[in-house]
């Protein structure tokens, strides 16, 4: 009997501890972070890229999709509840947010951070999305997956299909919530790219920028708060998602806009909540202190016009009926109009134009005449073609006969 009670106590102890070890998530934090410490962190400023605790990180310029800061940004890693960014997008693109969902026993029994759903509860998809992205409810994630995909497995197929569509080649999903699984992974860069896509959805952007919200569960109100500690505390932050599991450690995806500069900051694999907060603020401050959004389309236009003015008469078109080319840039090839550029590099922007001065007629309309390269510190970012609007026919026998006739008349008229 004594052995039986000893075993019972041990088993009970294991069941009490084991779920916390396996299913810990972003709403269950072992450490705390005093909100008053934000002020001292936010004043940190440096011209040098900061040292951070995060094992993987990236800052992405939303205008140009260029990387402004990176640390192991292409290395595969666990993502915890930042998974729910993809979950939300798949739901928003494949359902009516006003539909009412009845909660299953599977959704109601999931571990980790929870919205607090019970079997047979009734709630709209819209409110489940708020519970998913604010409270980070794993129960909301499963409920949404079952409703939209008919099963969690089918829903994950939709998640991976979307990842493939977005060219996220180093991302794979096996859950809608992000609890640890070796086959469930992403990279800091691809997570930033996914977030950039998600924020183009107005409903998603509105939800992740919400500090508190009152959902309706079984016709009763319930107010929930956002787990994102930066939202409402750091200037310009308008989302996006927190995450924590034992395998992924502390994670945070932030979107921040100040003036015209709009960036996404991802930190993954931080040791503590304080680390993820400090790292995010350091990277945000570094970015806005050292980068400016530049209208590169205007710079390219100005340089092209100046070049064209100087080289209008530089072309020889052998046997062409005209020697005049009407040139233009192929603007459709311009990958972006604005780009975040480091302040120290603003004087190092270089527009390199190459062209051939001699051509054989005919020259057809829209033919490539030259190329324009956009460079910073000799690093080439993209090339666009210079084309001609007009076609220039080749001189033919009719032209020469008319030329001879004209000269003959001029000769005898003298």
Residues designated as active site = 81, 84, 136
Q: Is 263 in contact with 293 (CB distance < 8 Å)?
A: no
Query: Cβ distance 363 to 317 under 8 Å?
Result: yes
Q: What share of the chain is helix, strand, coil (3-state, %, to 5)?
A: 40, 25, 35
Count, residues in the chain: 414
**Burial 63-83, CB ≥16 within 10 A → b, else e:** bbebbbbbbbbeeebbbbbbb
What does the alpha-carbon distance between residue 172 and residue 182 come to, in Å, rounded to a whole number? Answer: 10
Which residue carries 């503590």 as its tokens?
272
Helix, coil or strand: residue 39: helix
How far is it, in rounded angstroms, from Cα 359 to Cα 367? 11
* Phi, psi of 176, deg, nearest 5: -90, -5
User: How far apart, in whole angstroms, are the C-alpha atoms of residue 287 and residue 265?
Assistant: 10
């Amino acid at each position: 009997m004594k052995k039986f009670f000893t075993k019972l106590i041990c088993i009970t102890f294991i069941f009490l501890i084991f779920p916390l070890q396996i299913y810990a998530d972003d709403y269950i934090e072992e450490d705390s972070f005093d909100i008053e410490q934000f002020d001292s962190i936010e004043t940190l400023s440096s011209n040098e890229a900061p040292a951070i605790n995060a094992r993987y990180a990236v800052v992405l310029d939303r205008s140009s999709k260029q990387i402004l800061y990176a640390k192991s940004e292409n290395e595969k890693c666990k993502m915890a509840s930042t998974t729910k960014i993809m979950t939300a997008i798949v739901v928003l693109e494949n359902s009516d947010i006003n539909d009412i969902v009845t909660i299953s026993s599977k959704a109601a029994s999931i571990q980790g951070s929870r919205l607090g759903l019970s079997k047979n509860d009734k709630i709209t998809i819209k409110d489940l999305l708020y519970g998913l992205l604010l409270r980070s409810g794993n129960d909301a994630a499963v409920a949404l997956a079952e409703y939209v995909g008919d099963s969690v497995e089918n829903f994950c197929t939709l998640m991976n299909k979307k990842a493939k569509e977005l060219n996220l080649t180093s991302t794979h999903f096996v859950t809608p919530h992000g609890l640890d699984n070796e086959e469930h992974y992403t990279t800091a860069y691809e997570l930033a790219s996914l977030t950039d896509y998600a924020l183009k959805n107005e409903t998603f952007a509105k939800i992740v920028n919400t500090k508190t919200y009152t959902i309706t569960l079984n016709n009763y109100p319930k107010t929930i708060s956002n787990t994102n500690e930066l939202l409402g505390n750091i200037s310009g932050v308008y989302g996006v998602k927190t995450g924590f599991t034992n395998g992924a450690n502390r994670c945070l995806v932030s979107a921040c806009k100040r003036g015209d500069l709009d960036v996404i900051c991802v930190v993954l694999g931080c040791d503590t909540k304080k680390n993820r907060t400090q790292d995010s603020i350091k990277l945000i401050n570094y970015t806005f202190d050292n980068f400016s959004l530049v209208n590169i389309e205007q710079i390219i236009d100005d340089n092209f016009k100046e070049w064209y003015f100087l080289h209008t008469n530089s072309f020889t078109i052998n046997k062409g009926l005209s020697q005049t080319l009407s040139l233009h840039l192929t603007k459709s090839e311009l990958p972006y109009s604005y780009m975040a550029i480091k302040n120290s590099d603003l004087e190092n922007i270089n527009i390199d134009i190459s062209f051939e001065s001699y051509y054989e007629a005919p020259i057809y309309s829209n033919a490539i005449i030259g190329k324009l390269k956009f460079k910073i510190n000799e690093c080439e970012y993209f090339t666009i073609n210079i084309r001609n609007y007009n076609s220039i026919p080749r001189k033919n026998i009719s032209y020469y006969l008319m030329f001879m006739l004209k000269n003959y008349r001029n000769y005898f008229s003298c």
